[in-house]
Amino acid sequence: MSDPASGIVAEGAAEPLLSVRGLTVGFAGRGGVVPAVRGIDFDVMANEVLCIVGESGSGKSVTALALNGLLPATARMSGTIRLGQTRIDTAGEEALRAVRGREIGMIFQDPATTLNPLMVVGEQVTEGEVVRGDLARTDAPARAVELLEEVEIADAAGRAGQYPHQFSGGMRQRAVIAMAMAGRPRLIVADEPTTALDVTVQAQVLALLARRQAETGAAVILITHDLGVVAEVADRVAVMYAGRIVEIGPVDAIFANPRHPYTAALLQSIPRVDAADRRLDTIPGQPPLPGAFPSGCAFHPRCALGSARPRCAADDPALHPVGGTAAACHFAEETAPPRLPADPRQSREIAGATEAPLLSIENLEVHFPIRKGLLKRTVGHVRAVDGVSLVVRAGETVSIVGESGCGKTTTARAVMGLVKATAGTIEFEGDDITHKSSAALRAVRQRMQYVFQDPFSALNPVKPVEEIVAEPLRIHGLYDEVGGKQRIAELFDLVGLSKTMFGRYPREFSGGQKQRIGIARALGLAPRLLVLDEPVAALDVSIQAQILNLLEDLQNELGLAYLFIAHNLSVVRHISDRVAVMYLGRIVEESVKDDLYEGALHPYTQSLLSAAPVPDPTRRADRRRIVLAGEIPNPAAPPPGCSFHPRCGRASAVCSRDDPRKARFGDTRTLVACHHAGPLGEPVGQVAAGGVR
């Protein structure tokens, strides 16, 4: 370990494929240049996967763009980037164009916007090769089909002539991968390639990326905020914070023995799909944004080790080898090893478990008509919610988890009376609210409030936050009755905000603070039930932990019940008492949290759980992953019988004929809707459709 660049360079390596030294990127603005990346070094070998992890503002995406010379005109860059013998940092536009596509392929985050909406997919996939002269225009259509087949797009010949909007999100990302791989590049840079995808589709796309990487021997730089994904795919990991690499090393060492306090804290702050319940260790404060990086070590204000030490506030530490990694910390030797999940909690016994339910949903259906033709006749229905029954008791958290389009949000909106139920009943406090008038519903909503997913757009930007929190009280005419300004101050205090912030506007708050404001607004009327629709999905990892802990505290303090809607299985496991899994408008399995996570009985739940990335690289080898074939069918035309049967490994003749009813499985606490329900691994049928990997 005498090499000072250990960890920066992979061990025992020959010549690196990519070598970055002293990379600095800033953006010219009115007040001068705002630094985004502040001097980073790393190498990538051929056939290696390097993950760059960080929260918003860490500079990870800017680094990705710099590698390909794609920074905007306002960027100011210094340092060297060497790809093989080519200097990228000094290359002109012509030379860069020769590198792009042919040497470096890029995959971006949001497949909804990375493709040109007005050009057919096949043409976009081969466009680079055609323009570079590597492919004759007449051969392009056949090549497009070949490329789409390589990324496992069914009916590639038909799909090549379609437009991006005719593709699902997962298919679009496959097409983007095909495009990035078309020129057989030596390096692939993927910036959050699966963040916008569902967990089962994410598993498909990551498996595809791994397969194509193995086939071509390309190096991959994968940029992500998801430590689960990192543990699944990385060979080495670089952790970025405030424009610096604060730690870099082999994936096992980073996860088992992180030497930088930030890495350690990040690993402690994520809820895990595979671990028993514990309170999350949060990192105080929020990740700094470019332009406001603290002095010295940028992490020191949030650091358990360094917050009180003058050296941390004064000197910015350089990366140096510590243990198995290289860390940029003055006191890296003191970083405590990550703890195993502390004080595991068993499922809570809910006081009100035997009382009458607070919220009771019975056979809820929400169908949206599809109208077509000259007279807009109704030709069918999208069965967004198709017979959902669920009970929430006072003080408990019930989660609905599922992939996009499964109907979880529509269920929540129907509960709030925001969409009309087509059939079924919704009872709140024993009172049937399914068909109440909006005036009557308004009274009910005093005790049932909604928290929205996106804190960035859910708050009125032209109102001060005090007004935003007071608004529900004013609407219900209770502002003075409950104590006016005094009550607003209490609410701010309750969610961890200061009343000195009263006059400020939403744009002055970070995402986590905005979500706190959203929660304060919902709590104003002293509700008994909060409907939380993906409340942490848009937040950074360290902020997510803060909000989850806040929700837990509020529940204990105020006896709130939560109906929690989410797609993130780890978050759901952490927060819930009971969990219902939805697929195509129905609940396929419902149980007490730990029973569901430890002994799922429905094949869909099992594949969902197996697809969720676990932030533990040592488990990579022994994990059985069921990669589901295909995608969620169109809810306007669900398959007959059990709607999951076309993708199910256990499906038999009965499954395509009879729709299974949700029923208790044996003497368990689990309700499951499957003809072949049973624990994973028992001889209940052949392996899953996609094969067990």
Binding positions for other proteins, rule: CB under 8 A:
68, 70, 93, 96-102, 104-106, 108, 110, 113-119, 127-128, 131-132, 163, 165, 176, 179-180, 183, 371-376
| Residues 328, 42 contacting (CB under 8 angstroms) | no
CA end-to-end span of the chain, whole Å? 36
| Residues 187, 105 contacting (CB under 8 angstroms) | yes
Minimum CB separation of residue 468 from other proteins in Å reads: 29
What are the φ and ψ backbone dihedral angles of 253, each rounded to 5 degrees? -65, -40
Helix axes 261-269, 541-558, angle to 10 degrees: 50
What are the φ and ψ backbone dihedral angles of 408, each rounded to 5 degrees? -70, -40
Q: How far is Cα 175 from Cα 111, in angstroms, rounded to an integer?
A: 9
Alpha carbon distances (Å) from 96 to 19, 66, 190: 16, 11, 18
- Alpha carbon dihedral 209, 215, 219, 224, in 10-degree steps, equals 10
3-state secondary structure of 382: strand
- Neighbour-count burial of 378, counting CB atoms closer than 10 A to its CB (0-12 exposed, 13-18 middle, 19+ buried): exposed
Minimum CB separation of residue 631 from other proteins in Å reads: 20
Contacts of 181 (CB under 8 A, 6+ apart): 105, 147, 150, 151, 188, 212, 216, 218
Minimum CB separation of residue 613 from other proteins in Å reads: 25
What does the block give as tokens for 505? Answer: 């506007």
What does the block give as tokens for 227? Answer: 């430590």
| Residues 536, 519 contacting (CB under 8 angstroms) | no
Contacts of 282 (CB under 8 A, 6+ apart): 269, 542, 545, 546, 549
- Alpha carbon 135 to chain centroid, angstroms: 38
Q: How is 524-593 classified by DSSP, letter by letter?
A: TT--SEEEEESTTTTS-HHHHHHHHHHHHHHHHHH--EEEEEES-HHHHHHH-SEEEEEETTEEEEEEEH
Residue (33 or 526) nearer to other proteins, CB = 33
| Residues 157, 120 contacting (CB under 8 angstroms) | no
Q: How far is Cα 69 from Cα 565, in angstroms, rounded to an integer?
A: 40
Contacts of 302 (CB under 8 A, 6+ apart): 262, 265, 283, 284, 285
- Quick one: CA dihedral 373, 376, 378, 384, positive or negative? positive
Strand partners, 188: 105, 220
3-state secondary structure of 441: helix
| Residues 551, 501 contacting (CB under 8 angstroms) | no
Contacts of 59 (CB under 8 A, 6+ apart): 25, 36, 37, 38, 40, 240, 242, 243, 244, 290
Q: How far is Cα 292 from Cα 285, in angstroms, rounded to an integer?
A: 13
| Residues 120, 136 contacting (CB under 8 angstroms) | no
Contacts of 499 (CB under 8 A, 6+ apart): 488, 489, 492, 493
